Amino acid sequence: MMKLAVFWGCRILTSQYAYEMSIREVFPKLGIELADLREAVCCGDPVKSINNFAADYLAARALALANETGLKDLLVPCSRGHFVLSEVNDSLTKDETRKRKITDLLKGEELSYDPNVKIWHVIDFLHDRVGLEKIKKALEKPFKGLKLASHVGCQTVRYSDLGRVDDAENPRKLDELINVLGAETVDYPEKLDCCGAALTYSHLDAALSLAGSKIKALQDLAVDGLVVSCPACQMMLDAKQKDAGTAVGAKLNLPVVYYTQLLGLALNIEEEKLGLHLNQSPVNQLLTKISA
């Protein structure tokens, strides 16, 4: 049994429950044990806009909490969290003074920052560490005749110089993870476009328009659903799909699910355990097609 520490961040713990549920169901079935950190705390993402130092402190603190578990691997299912935690190592390597100050602050909390924790996202952990073969072997109910699109999100794949989860211009890992479940994936011109989540702090309408444009474009493609892997993206594309439709003047009807929810279905886990009843988009369309 491989053991992973998990940093859930804020959105998953306070509203995007389906992601947490589906991960907690799916990972043990693949032989992975998850260990929570001692406390729930923000990675620092919104604080980047307020005070970069304080943001780095929060990010380093998250890594320090991971260090406390004694585990070498940290799963960060939220793409924004994954980006923030990946960037802090870079920023503290370049700024010795800041590193010292933050290390001192953490010392005061009896925490120690460790840049050597390996930071994983759900996508690269499943694709690179667990591997497609192992996932395939574990499947109990692979799909047939399903056509899906993937939305890997901005902060999972950009910016390359930092070392990201997948290739920035041609990300394929999430597609391959979907393919291994037995579903076909389609490419679409808007694939790398942003869901708009970060703009909800200041420009909600613009955020909804961005999400709405993406869903609209996908609907024109006649796919059975959209697969995401980040709670911010899910919030925009699923939870706010109706409002997004209003923002772009279109009726939006696209099932949007977390990859782990989809994987859970192929592993024959009950829909309720995967939190599928919590999705706001019309996932029943998708579920019907799957069980057909």
Q: Would you count residue 287 as binding another protein (CB under 8 A)?
A: no
Alpha-carbon span 39 to 74, nearest angstrom: 14
- Using DSSP's 3-state secondary structure scheme, residue 255 falls into coil
Give the one residue of 203, 253, 270, 288 binding another protein; rule: CB under 8 A.
203
Q: Would you count residue 23 as binding another protein (CB under 8 A)?
A: no
Candidate segments 9-17, 67-75, 127-135, 223-231, binder of another protein by CB under 8 A: 9-17
Q: Nearest distance from residue 65's CB to another protein, in Å?
A: 9
For residues 227 to 266, the per-residue mask of contacts with another protein, x marking binding by CB under 8 A and - elsewhere, is ----------------------------------------
Output the 3-class SS for 157-183: HCCHHHCCCCCCCCCCHHHHHHHCCCC
Q: Would you count residue 219 as binding another protein (CB under 8 A)?
A: no
Q: Would you count residue 70 as binding another protein (CB under 8 A)?
A: no
**H/E stretch holding 107:** helix 96-108
Q: Would you count residue 271 as binding another protein (CB under 8 A)?
A: no
Give the one residue of 136, 158, 172, 289 binding another protein; rule: CB under 8 A.
158
Give the one residue of 33, 134, 201, 288 binding another protein; rule: CB under 8 A.
201
In this structure, what DSSP letter does residue 222 have?
T
49 and 81 in contact (C-beta within 8 Å)? Answer: no
Instruction: Give me the phi and psi of 34, to 5 degrees please.
Output: -105, 140
Instruction: Give me the phi and psi of 19, to 5 degrees please.
Output: -65, -45
Q: Would you count residue 288 as binding another protein (CB under 8 A)?
A: no
Nearest to 7 by CA among 41, 51, 55: 41
Nearest to 4 by CA among 71, 77, 78: 71
Alpha-carbon span 11 to 140, nearest angstrom: 31
Instruction: Give me the phi and psi of 148, to 5 degrees please.
Output: -125, 160
Cα–Cα distances (Å) from 94 to 88, 101, 157, 172, in that order, read 10, 14, 22, 31
Q: Nearest distance from residue 289's CB to another protein, in Å?
A: 18
Nearer Cβ to another protein, position 176 or 190? Answer: 190
Applying CB under 8 A, what is the total number of residues that bind another protein? 68
**H/E stretch holding 19:** helix 17-29
Nearer Cβ to another protein, position 34 or 139? Answer: 34
Candidate segments 16-24, 138-146, 253-261, 263-271, binder of another protein by CB under 8 A: 16-24
Q: Positive or negative CA dihedral for 162, 197, 80, 174?
A: negative
> For residues 82-111, which are near another protein according to CB under 8 A?
83, 94-95, 101-102, 105-106, 108-110
Candidate segments 67-75, 128-136, 188-196, 256-264, binder of another protein by CB under 8 A: 188-196
Query: Applying CB under 8 A, which residues contact another protein?
Result: 10-11, 13-15, 17, 20-21, 24, 36, 38-42, 45-54, 57-58, 83, 94-95, 101-102, 105-106, 108-110, 154-155, 158-160, 167-170, 189, 192-194, 196, 198-203, 205-207, 209-210, 220-221, 275, 277-278, 280
